Structure 1
């Protein structure tokens, strides 16, 4: 049975050999966020001067809108404040009503500790 795993294990070792070794960070040092993640993309959108809507973030990341709102809740738990920049209500003649309404969100400049 052990001989049956020799070839697959060797193939795995060969694949992993090309990767650089992981460098351990010092205990207590802040984690460095990975680059190019969807979370990083959302944070960049929220830091823009014009902010971002839930629909814009959902389209950019491929997330469902409830996932975006859940991400906002997670940011709050981590000490970041997501503020409402403006609420656009589309009511009246030639507007689409409640379905056309949207809210623009942005990160507060200084994170608050909750």
Structure 2
């Protein structure tokens, strides 16, 4: 038996459902101070590798890039990595 081919979806960017975790993450990344992977993981219940995969998917599927901000000396509460640094991400439009 041959599987039916799904109809092509609408072209362009997809919008996350209202109240979805993806929408919550996008709001966190659009804040002026941005967000850390740890903050996003705690807010969504995702693992850190899932958060980073979400960033990659944003760029690939929706043309949105999560830009790295300063990694140390910021007053964002987060777990600290090597030498007391951590990475803060913020949304920028790719282009």
TM-score, normalised by the number of residues in structure 1:
0.60
Structure 1 runs (4+) deviating above 6 angstroms are none
- Whether 2:65 is the aligned partner of 1:81: answer yes
1:58-90 CA-partner distances (Å, limit 9, x unpaired): 00000000000000000110200110111117x
Residue number among 15, 25, 40 corresponding to 1:42 in the alignment: 25
Between structure 1 and structure 2, the one with the greater Rg is 1
Unaligned runs of 5+ in 1: 1-26, 90-95
Task: State the Cα RMSD in Å.
Answer: 2.4
More helix by share: 1
**Would you say how many aligned residue pairs link Structure 1 and Structure 2?**
79
Partner of residue 37, structure 2 = 54
SS at match of 1:105: strand
Query: What is the TM-score of this pair, normalised by structure 2?
Result: 0.71
**5+ unaligned residues in a row in structure 2: which ranges?**
1-9, 74-79
Which of 1 and 2 has higher RCO (CA within 8 Å, sep 6+)?
2
Q: Tell me the SS of whatever aligns to 2:25.
A: helix
